[in-house]
């Protein structure tokens, strides 16, 4: 059943202009063809930024008075959708294929009930308005006694996938739910899925912001709502707004505790702004859910889905520089982009968050900055695919792509971190102290410049060799020769004598062997 939401309206100032109830709100592209004009626009106080192309344009949701003001200061613009809040335009645009809250709740419950050997459905709480619950599916191989399941199994690497920080991004709910269904449907027939389910723990939160998402309405009546239901004046009216990015509410992706409000640049302290960061760091019940999980679960990597713009964003957002693990983030982004290219014939733009525009208190910076978790944001779809609200004909193709993105990313995470758990006697469904298995991990960094680290585990002390080969099969570097010690082994190799290119490194230990690729780039 659809929930009835009473919408309250009021008049406020936006970008220096009074916003009257009859001031038409449009989705528009404002052109900024140089860096100074772009920066001036994207950091303009109170502007509701939808997506960007640095040095080219900024897509905005704005009343005509704001667009007129921008035109008066030298900017040109075109409408992507004139009067995008018109009720006549909201209905009948192919939205029926999207889930609403009740359908999401039902599908999550059915997934858990029908796959009780691998699914545990958790109710993590709710938001200010208590309109819906924040659900997480934990997918892993366990005995079907949920009340006795430990939240964090120290014997397995954990990954996290989150959708719908921002209410007006319903595609992010679809893709996260789709991957949960994909894992259940393909276990145990798909060997990669089987490994992920049995040897890792996958947490999936399809909708972190149910209050805002329900208000935005996932079928016929879109409000372009961005924030949650924080009630600034505490009068019980959670959505005092004309139905778009301004008014009450907190931008959840500016509310995390790491570098919250840094330099007062990248989020807003003004309660009515689209990027309002909240009254204090981590103040919102939704961000507290993520913070609580991150403090209790040993996540090693995370994906946060947003829309729109076709980006893969890595730390940092709060400062104009890359993180210490930038090479590893670049590698992870490349793994994701390879899948995207196979589906679209083009790559998403992969970069530091600050290269799009500065943020602070966001999910990616928090996960990496406070917990050393390799986290990236994936901005789905484009303006040509409908922006925030693609026609439902885009749901299937987008989910097909992201199912493979998540699967390939999770497999990469296992290659990166699985051997550490295996080497300590963990993983593969074993209890601590169980026999280790033969496993070769991905070298790091990859791409490498002059030096690379190679790690692997062997089930017993054994003779063997680890060597690097060029694409013709010629051995170009011997990294190590056995005997190798039982358990985890790690070697550092000097590759400075190798020209740039793709190589294969191969481990042979007794009757076992394995090989992986490494890229040398200088």
Let me know the angle formed at the C-alpha of 170 by 169 and 173, rounded to the nearest 5 degrees: 115
Say which DSSP state 435 is in.
P
Q: Is 21 helix (H, G, I), strand (E, B) or coil?
A: coil
Strand-strand pairing, 57-63 and 487-494: unpaired
From 76-90, 436-450, 473-487, the region with the lowest mean pLDDT: 436-450
Structure tokens at 228: 């949650």
For 519, counting Cβ atoms within 10 Å of its Cβ (0-12 exposed, 13-18 middle, 19+ buried), the class is middle
| CATH class name, domain 439-520 | mainly beta
CA separation for the pair 1, 4 (Å, rounded): 9
Residues 473, 478, 484, 488, CA torsion sign: negative
Within 8 A by CB and 6+ apart from 474, the residues are none
From 187-201, 329-343, 501-515, the region with the lowest mean pLDDT: 501-515
Query: Looking at residue 433, what is its pLDDT?
Result: 38
**Report for 40-49, 140-149, 161-170: range of highest mean pLDDT:** 161-170
Calculate mean pLDDT across residues 209-221: 83
Instruction: Count the Cβ atoms, other than its own, within 10 Å of residue 224.
Output: 24
CA separation for the pair 314, 157 (Å, rounded): 21
Strand-strand pairing, 299-307 and 374-380: parallel
Calculate mean pLDDT across residues 291-316: 96
Q: What is the domain partition of the chain in residue ranges?
A: 12-86, 101-225+243-420, 439-520
Q: What is the DSSP secondary-structure string of 218-241?
A: SSS------S----TT-SS-TTBS
CA 26 to chain centre: 28
Q: Domain 101-225+243-420 is of which CATH architecture? A: 3-Layer(aba) Sandwich (3.40)
Is 490 noted as a catalytic residue in this protein? no
The pLDDT tens digits for 24-59 are 999 999 999 888 999 999 999 889 999 999 999 999
Query: Tell me, which fold does domain 12-86 have in CATH?
Result: Alpha-Beta Plaits (3.30.70)
Query: Looking at residue 182, what is its pLDDT?
Result: 98
Mean per-residue pLDDT of the chain: 87
Calculate mean pLDDT across residues 237-252: 82
Contact criterion met (CB below 8 Å) for 426 and 488:
no
Query: Looking at residue 281, what is its pLDDT?
Result: 96
From 91-105, 179-193, 358-372, 394-408, the region with the lowest mean pLDDT: 91-105
Which is the catalytic residue, given 379, 404, 416, 441?
379
Query: Looking at residue 94, what is its pLDDT?
Result: 67
pTM of the predicted protein model: 0.79
CA separation for the pair 95, 189 (Å, rounded): 33
Query: Looking at residue 303, what is its pLDDT?
Result: 98
């Amino acid at each position: 059943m659809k929930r009835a939401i009473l919408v309250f309206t009021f008049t406020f100032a936006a970008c220096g202009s009074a916003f009257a109830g009859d001031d038409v709100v449009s989705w528009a592209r404002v052109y900024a063809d140089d860096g100074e004009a772009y920066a001036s626009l994207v950091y303009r106080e109170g502007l509701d930024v939808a997506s960007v192309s640095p040095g080219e344009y900024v897509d905005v949701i704005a009343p005509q008075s704001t667009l007129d003001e921008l035109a008066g200061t030298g900017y040109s613009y075109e409408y992507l959708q004139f009067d995008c809040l018109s009720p006549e335009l909201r209905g009948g645009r192919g939205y029926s294929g999207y889930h609403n809250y009740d359908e999401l709740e039902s599908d999550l419950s059915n997934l858990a009930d029908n796959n009780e050997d691998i699914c545990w459905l958790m109710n993590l709480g709710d938001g200010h308005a208590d309109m819906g619950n924040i659900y997480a599916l934990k997918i892993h191989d366990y005995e079907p006694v949920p009340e006795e399941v430990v939240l964090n199994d120290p014997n397995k690497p954990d990954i996290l996938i989150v959708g719908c920080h921002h209410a007006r991004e319903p595609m992010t709910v679809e893709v996260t739910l789709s991957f949960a269904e994909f894992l259940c449907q393909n276990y145990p027939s798909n060997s990669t899925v089987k490994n992920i389910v049995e040897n890792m723990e996958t947490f999936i939160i399809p909708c972190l912001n149910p209050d805002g998402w329900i208000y935005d309405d996932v079928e016929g009546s879109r409000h372009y709502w961005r924030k949650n239901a924080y009630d600034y004046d505490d009068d019980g009216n959670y959505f005092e707004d004309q139905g778009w990015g301004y008014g009450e509410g907190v931008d959840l992706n500016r509310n995390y505790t790491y570098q919250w409000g840094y330099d007062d640049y990248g989020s807003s302290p003004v309660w009515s702004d689209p990027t309002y960061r909240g009254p204090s760091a981590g103040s919102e019940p939704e961000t507290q859910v993520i913070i609580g999980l991150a403090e209790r679960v040993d996540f090693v990597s995370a994906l946060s889905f947003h829309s729109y713009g076709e980006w893969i964003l890595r730390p940092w957002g709060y400062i104009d520089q890359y993180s210490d693990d930038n090479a590893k983030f670049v590698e992870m982004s490349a793994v994701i982009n390879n899948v995207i290219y196979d589906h679209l014939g083009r790559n998403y733009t992969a970069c530091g968050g600050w290269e799009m525009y500065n943020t602070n208190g966001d999910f990616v910076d928090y996960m990496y900055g406070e917990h050393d978790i390799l986290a990236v944001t994936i901005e789905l779809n484009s303006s040509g695919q409908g922006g925030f609200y693609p026609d439902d004909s885009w749901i299937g193709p987008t989910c097909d792509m992201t199912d493979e993105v998540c699967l390939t990313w999770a497999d990469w995470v296992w290659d990166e971190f699985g051997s550490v758990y295996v080497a300590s006697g963990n993983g593969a469904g074993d209890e601590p102290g169980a026999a280790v298995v033969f496993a070769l991990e991905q070298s790091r960094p990859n791409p490498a410049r002059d030096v690379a680290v190679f790690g692997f585990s062997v089930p017993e002390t054994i003779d063997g060799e680890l060597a690097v080969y060029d694409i013709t099969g010629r051995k170009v570097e011997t990294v190590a020769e056995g005997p190798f010690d039982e358990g985890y082994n790690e070697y550092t190799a000097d590759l400075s004598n190798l020209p740039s290119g793709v190589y294969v490194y191969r481990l042979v230990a007794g009757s076992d062997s394995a090989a992986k690729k490494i890229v040398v780039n200088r």
